[in-house]
Amino acid sequence: MERRHFPVGIETFSELREKNYVYIDKTELIHRLVTSGKYYFLSRPRRFGKSLLLSTIRSFYEGRRDLFDGLAISRYAHSWESHPIFHLNFVNFNTSSIDGLNSILEHQISRWEEMYGRSGVRLDFAQRFYDVIERSVLQTGQQAVVLIDEYDKALVSTLGNSELHEQFRSILKPIYGTLKAADRYISFGMITGVSRFSRLSIFSDINNLSDISFANEYSTICGITEEELLRDCWEGIEKVSSATATPVDETVALLKRNYDGYHFTRKCPDLYNPFSLFNAFERGEVGNYWFATGTPTFLIERMRNANTSLPQLLHSEADTTQLSDIDSYSSSTIALLFQTGYLTIKRYDPEYDTYFLGLPNREVAHGFFRDLLFAKDPQYRQLVDRLDEAPIR
């Protein structure tokens, strides 16, 4: 049997399935999403599988039943009808000026207008978005599906530039408001991002938007559990074991120490970072892959200017509201570190609705805190040394 590869940098579900890449089956949870509600929001750190999740949902609503053979969702009765899909992808564009945002909106909306037609009246982006959704439904007889990937990319990138941040917000707010305006034409909608911007108002404008970021039932929709690792990734484990001349059981323990330990809800099992795991499997060695993709500049500056001591970071406390919502200009450092994946939930106290936070694993500790922020802190150097002896729990 030909060895399957792990999808490093591949976030398109159809490509994974057609080219026989390893796919961690999340379709049981996708079945629950598409049969239980209409609008959803999910916050997860970068490189944690949000784009693949939306791509999988897209293939489902395109009626690509062949791609789901053998997966959990294939056990259920679905119509598998094709719907008009409006997939706004904000993952890659230049956030240094509003020109980058205008360019990506023009590109994506123009493609849909080529398919469904365009009004002769000059409209702004939000009006054009509404218009093309309406036209698609009238032409196909099927309600539309709206998927928005990394909705906050421009906002997160400009947290340190209030003027540009406000310009981005003024453009994006009416775009996202289209989900409410065009509600009667939409069958399903999902928005993903790193942070939940309370001032953007999509969470109040769309009254039935379900935020599943802290929902226990969807805690594993992104990331890899221990069970999934041992069930679906054995080829990768053996490759690392062989390449490093390390016994398999020690290899599993090493992977756990470096990439496991994320918790996004009160009752979330340990989750591995999929991007780091898949890179380790393909390269045959453990490394700081997630950190190497780049730490947001605004976060580095915030940390360097914050009056937050190391003990405070390692033993942070916050309630649900503090962790789930951030304000564009006055967000706490702790909330930003949690939402971007540098801190994670260690324990929850239901009596006081309090989350206790800490470092998820050795990769985060080595890559972010040691190399960028606390390289000169002798207390932290001692902590980093201990990471080689035992994982952070």
Q: How do strand 316-318 and strand 354-358 relate by DSSP bridges?
A: antiparallel
Least confident window among 112-126, 245-259, 316-330: 316-330
- pLDDT recorded at residue 307: 63
Of 87-101, 297-311, 350-364, which range is least confident?
A: 297-311
| pLDDT mean over 308-327 | 74
The values of phi and psi at residue 212, to 5°, are -100, 10
Averaged pLDDT for residues 195-207:
67
Instruction: With a cut of 60, say whether residue 18 has pLDDT above it.
Output: yes
Residue 236's SS3 state is helix
Dist CA 33 CA 40 (whole Å): 8
**CATH 3.40.50.300 occupies which residues in the chain?**
25-218
Quick: pLDDT tens for 150-172. 998 888 888 778 899 889 989 99
- Is residue 391's pLDDT more than 50? no
The yes or no reply on domain 25-218 and CATH 3.40.50.300 is yes
Asked whether residue 220 carries a pLDDT value surpassing 60, the answer given is: yes
Q: Please report which confidence band the pLDDT of residue 319 belongs to, taking 50, 70 and 90 as the band edges.
A: confident
Q: Is the pLDDT of residue 277 over 90?
A: yes
Q: What is the pLDDT of residues 329-383, one digit of tens each?
A: 556 778 888 888 989 999 999 998 899 998 899 998 887 666 555 544 555 555 5
pTM recorded for the entire structure: 0.92
Structure tokens at 226: 């221990």
CA dihedral 37, 43, 45, 50 (to 10 degrees): 30
Q: How many CB atoms lie within 10 A of CB 102?
A: 13
Give the model confidence (pLDDT) of 306-317 as tens digits: 666 666 666 788
Mean pLDDT of 52-75: 98
- What does the pLDDT read at residue 373? 57
Q: Judge whether 120 and 67 are in contact, CB under 8 Å.
A: no
Q: 30 by DSSP, 3-state: which?
A: helix
- Chain-centre distance for alpha carbon 69: 25
The neighbouring-strand residues paired with 292 are: none
Q: Tell me 96's DSSP state.
A: T
CA gap 202, 356 in Å, rounded: 28
Give the 3-state secondary structure of residue 258: helix
393 pLDDT tier (thresholds 50, 70, 90)? very low
Q: What is the pLDDT of residue 50?
A: 96
d(C-alpha 92, C-alpha 104), whole Å: 9
Collapsing DSSP to helix, strand or coil, 294 comes out as coil
Instruction: Please give the Cα distance from 33 to 39 (Å, whole number).
Output: 9
**354 in helix, strand or coil?**
strand
